[in-house]
Structure 1
């Protein structure tokens, strides 16, 4: 189990996709910080001009002449813009981006829990279906012997054709159930392969979660409300919506920027040149913007209200999930003991019916019915053991504790802060921190 969970944590494509999405969200912080950084542009322009003037009067000549003029100017320039004040928009945009990163990290943690739960469920499904296949094969072997025994008794005059037919019918039914069990096993192995990337061979459950589970349902609810990643993500999304409102409201405040330009223009015909330089302080005061920004602010406030309601909704959903997982775990744990008692009783009953059949007190149908009851009880026990194991993982997931640390997995833990620290203050560069 530990190998399976570690493989799912390291290799699952869905989890790697969630990590890539978080890395993309990290870049929004650098994008937001660029709002107060200078922008620098270089320009180069070359032109060819030709002017011809007709009927131009020259007094010294006493006549009108036609003049030609050709010019090929070359201009090089450098301009910069330094924002000074933007109504706190950049500050709030940075805070909004950071809140979005925190929310996405919690969503990643939620995805990790979901994948680990899927891996544990797939693992237990393989074990369950393998055990059921083994039971079905044993049932087929037993019924095959019953068919043979029925035919032998018929040959010596101690049985009837009805006994043979009943045995053959039960044998055919058992073969059909074995085929379905093998199909279920193949499907569960395929699911296990999809989630973990491993082939299901000789699976052994070496994880005991009993000591890691909450001691009571009240304790589980308390832990979930404080720790579940879905709730934490929704709380951070409230901050995202709040800073979005403040950012949009900043568009009503004045904007101040410093602009500068330097340039040189060459006359390629005469080698003459002229230099230009200019520095401008701009103050933009919005008066009326057509109502667009006002509508955006109102819309953002509604989004903020939606985010706050979403927190309450997720708290209720997590509470329901915790109570459901706790109830399923307790029910599965209680059903295991009952199933074990049922298997033991059915084994004794089958043995007694077989002995009674030998002395003529039971029929072949009684033996077949007793065998069916035993197999049913054994399958019920296998399913109960699987349900308890899966419910334990589901309970840990519902309280937000199904993670690498709780499970003590020997795996390189993904550190989302490393990428964030590498890009949050990056001024330039096209390569990602991993070299792409």
Structure 2
């Protein structure tokens, strides 16, 4: 295909399809957002592990208090009741250190962690889906620009040919070899060609905008795109087997099934007893009845066993709900398998159609070139009309435009097949990038006990 994109704006550095996809892999906002989403999901694992980690807190109090005390002091010599009265003000203050540790929670923490981990794996598969979509869309955007630029150039060349045809027809009309009708037909064809050029330029601008959105930069001098057929399995049946095992849509669904199974266990743990132990140290001043100068220090170690008997039925509803959600995600896994299988068959069909069409259109182009030469020679001898020449020229133009379109379809279809089996990735395409590894962030935060900064320092 034509590698020139903008006449008069050609740059020395040529962009290849692989370099464009490498830029998209690094800079595409959809892909970066999906990576951030995986990092968000990673934090669910340490949150789940917190259920069996110790908890500690300090509570401090301080205030001002006034009071009065009346203490009975017996009776006087005359038999009257006597008392000792006193008024005071104090500043009660104190602090309590409490530490607790869950010893048994019915397996809730373990199930919650496994559920979180399965959701992390599902998020990574979803990230792979986004990566595939970005790379496939990037390849389509690249080839669309090439296609539309080539068609724009064909339309330009066609105008030059039709202008020459109009001059020849006008000269022949001047000597009486043709009629005014022939001139009008040549003029009409030229006007239509100019209109088609305007449409081609508008379509090219649209494709350039889509390229900029996906790749992240304006297209400059694009090299011809190449099919990735050498990376595809040898047969469609082999591709289906690979897709059912490796496609990120399938693996994401299976990880969601694992997460739903753990969610059932987490819900069932609400019916299990829990056992915990706690320690508490308390130091208070002026706190005993608010009397100034008093001081209290206490320490305690307490074990607590909680056996749920009936909590209103909410836990039973949660268990039933979790089981229904498990059934739902299992059905979704079956749906994903069927969808992937259909996608492989469909994409292979498009690829084979594009290959066959390209062969046919190349034969049509060769025949149209021969026909045009013959029609022009016959027109000079008076055996053909101007309209015959214009029709032959249009047939050749249509064949060349169809070749351009089919070349684009062939490359895009090959990327679609690679994506349908789940192997469209920066690693498979051997892009010049540092491969993003989502497990690095997960390993950094999974067992982290303290800290508010993210691993990258934010």
Distance in structure 1 (CA, Å) of the matches to 2:328 and 2:292? 69
**Cα contact 1:87–1:253 (8 A) shared by 2:** yes
- 1:267 is displaced (CA, Å) by 2.4
1 CA distance for matches of 2:179 and 2:427?
65
Counterpart for residue 211 of structure 1: 230
1:375 equivalent in structure 2: 397
User: 1:379-435, CA deviations, whole angstroms, 9 ceiling, x for partnerless residues?
Assistant: 111111111110000000000011122111110110111100100000010000000
- Which residue is equivalent to 1:150? 169
Q: Which of 240, 259, 272 is the equivalent residue of 2:278?
A: 259
- Match for residue 28 of structure 1 among 44, 53, 71: 44
In the alignment, structure 2 segments of 5+ residues that lack a partner are: 1-16
**Distance in 2, Cα, partners of 1:253 & 1:335:** 66
> Cα distance, 1:272 vs. partner?
4.0
Q: Which residue of structure 1 lines up, in the alignment, with residue 195 of structure 2?
A: 176
Partner of 2:62: 46
2:143·2:225 contact (CA, 8 Å) conserved in 1?
no
Tell me the alpha carbon deviations over residues 263-318 of structure 1, each in whole angstroms, 9 at most, x when there is no partner: 11112985442201111100000000111010010000000001111111000000
In 1, distance between residues paired with 2:229 and 2:413? 11
Instruction: Decide whether the 8 Å contact of 2:227 with 2:410 is kept in 1.
Output: no
Deviation of 1:158 after TM superposition, in Å, equals 2.0
After superposition, residues 2-401 of structure 1 pair within 5 angstroms as 2-52=18-68, 57-59=72-74, 62-64=80-82, 66-205=85-224, 207-267=226-286, 270-401=292-423
Q: Partners in 1 of 2:159 and 2:82 — Cα distance?
A: 121
Q: Is the 8 A contact 1:51 1:70 kept in 2?
A: yes
Give the drift of 1:49. 2.0
- Matched position secondary structure for 2:295: strand
Paired residue for 2:427? Answer: 405
Q: Deviations over 1:313-335 (max 9, x none)?
A: 00000011000000110110011
Cross-structure match for 2:455: 433
Q: Secondary structure at the match of 1:145?
A: helix
1 CA distance for matches of 2:28 and 2:74?
Answer: 90
SS at match of 1:214: coil
Contact 1:88 1:250 in 2 (8 A): yes
Q: Would the aligned equivalents of 2:48 and 2:109 in 1 still touch at CA under 8 Å?
A: yes
* Separation in structure 2 between the aligned mates of residue 266 and residue 51 of structure 1, nearest angstrom: 16
Are the equivalent residues in 1 in contact too, given 2:111–2:265 (CA < 8 A)? yes
* Structure 1: distance between partners of 2:409 and 2:225: 16
Cα deviation, residue 219, structure 1: 0.9
Question: Does the Cα contact within 8 Å between 1:2 and 1:207 map onto a contact in 2?
Answer: no
Deviation of the 1:147 alpha carbon: 1.7
Count of matched residue pairs: 435
1:60: Cα distance to partner? 5.7
1:260 Cα deviation from its structure 2 partner: 1.7
Please report the TM-score for the alignment, with normalisation by the length of structure 2.
0.92
CA distance in 2: counterparts of 1:90 and 1:285, whole angstroms: 17
Distance 2:246 2:33 in 1: 23
* Structure 2 counterpart of 1:415: 437
Unaligned runs of 5+ in 1: none
With normalisation by structure 1, the TM-score equals 0.97
